Amino acid sequence: MTRTILLSTALTGLALSAQAETLTVYTSQPQEQMTDVIAAFNKEHPEIAVELFRSGTTEVMAKLQAEFAAGGSPADVLLIADAVAMTQLKQEERLMAYPEAPTDGIAPALLDGDRMFFPTKLITTGIVYNTDLVDTPPTAWADLAKPEVANQTIMPSPLYSGAAAIHVGTLVQQPDMGWDFMEAMADGGAVAGQGNGTVLEAVARGEKAYGVLVEYMAMNAKEQGSPVDFVFPSEGVTAVTQPVAIMAGTDAPDAAKAFVDWQLSQAAQAQSVGQGYFPLLKGMEVPAGYPDPATLTMIEADNPRLLADGEEVKQNFADLYGG
């Protein structure tokens, strides 16, 4: 369920003054994580009250587009797991350039050339499985197309999740996978939930034995005692960088810049590692139990094609899996 939540920090001695700025952040990052993010941000910027709208990337984008059509959005900052959606907003001139953003330590290849959006973390998608139900774990994406595996598999829907949209769009671009792979899974009985949370829930409860999932959700659940484990498939993983951007229509540009600065800081990256994400800054340790990202094979995507084919991919997926 979508929710709008006002999160503010109580100040010792003085309450927020009448001149304090309010920053509205739209995000797809999990609610409990964003609560911690905002608390940490407010330790450095107690003068900025943060209002949060949180939902899946597709719903966040739909809300933005409806608000644009109605004359404007209250969003000041956008933080979503979808660089393709950010590229679309950039092309529509909905984002504000911030060339002074502190990007030292971030690989130049991950940065938008016009400095309109910025990566905040690395999120990969692989395979989660229930350790109580699976004796021989899968090792490859191809395993999910086997009928005996497919009928026990759930995946997030690109109609809801930005990471899922990039995942499906990337896999169908691969000559050795394509729509044949997605059709084989559907024919074998694989189903789609909504976002990644529905996948984790189904696998952790034993309703499904396998799932397509972002790694941090599986690894965090495993750490907390859920009967799940995670596989980085042999063919490679798809990845998103959860970029942050300032909306062109913001009426709080200084507060928005402060939020972006904090997201790119060492403190925010350390918090991300604590939340189970791969860091983007060079030299930082990965979360316990994670592989060195340099050892992972990243399945490359044609991003302009992802943007151009986005609606067609969603429609094809809906035809196969419903939606």
Q: What is the pLDDT of residues 276-301, one digit of tens each?
A: 999 888 888 999 889 988 889 999 88
Domain assignment of residue 170, given as a range: 123-239+296-321
Are 174 and 302 in the same domain?
Answer: yes
- Residue 183's pLDDT is 97
Global pTM value: 0.81
Residue 19: predicted pLDDT: 57
In a domain, 302, yes or no: yes
| 215 in any annotated domain | yes
pLDDT per residue, tens digit, the chain (323 aa), is: 344 433 333 333 334 444 578 999 999 999 999 999 999 999 999 999 999 999 988 899 999 999 999 999 999 999 998 888 999 999 999 999 999 999 998 988 889 999 999 999 999 999 999 999 999 999 999 999 999 999 999 999 999 888 899 999 999 999 999 999 999 999 999 999 999 999 999 999 999 999 999 999 999 999 999 999 999 999 999 998 999 999 999 999 999 999 999 999 999 999 999 999 998 888 889 998 899 888 899 998 888 899 899 999 999 999 999 86
Q: Looking at the domain assignment, is residue 291 inside a domain?
A: no
Say if residue 234 is in the same domain as residue 246: no
Q: Are residues 144 and 174 in the same domain?
A: yes
| Same domain for 87 and 25 | yes
- Residue 95, in any domain of the structure: yes
Residue 16 confidence (pLDDT): 40
d(CA 280, CA 108): 11
pLDDT at position 293 is: 84
Residues 94 and 165 in one domain: no
Is 61 among the domain residues? yes
Q: Do 143 and 210 sit in the same domain of this protein?
A: yes
2 burial type by CB count under 10 A (0-12 exposed, 13-18 middle, 19+ buried)? exposed
Report the CATH number at residue 155: 3.40.190.10
278 and 148 within one domain: no
Q: And the tokens for 25?
A: 């952040």
Amino acid 323: pLDDT: 67
For residues 249 and 220, membership in a common domain is answered with no
DSSP type of residue 240: E
CA 151 – CA 129 distance, rounded (Å) = 13
**Amino acid sitting at position 99:** P
Tell whether 196 and 306 lie within a shared domain. Answer: yes
Is position 275 within any domain?
yes
What are the DSSP calls for 182-231, one per residue?
HHHHHHHT-EE-SSHHHHHHHHHTTS-SEEEEEHHHHHHHHHTT-SEEEE
DSSP class of residue 12 equals S
For the chain, the domain total comes to: 2
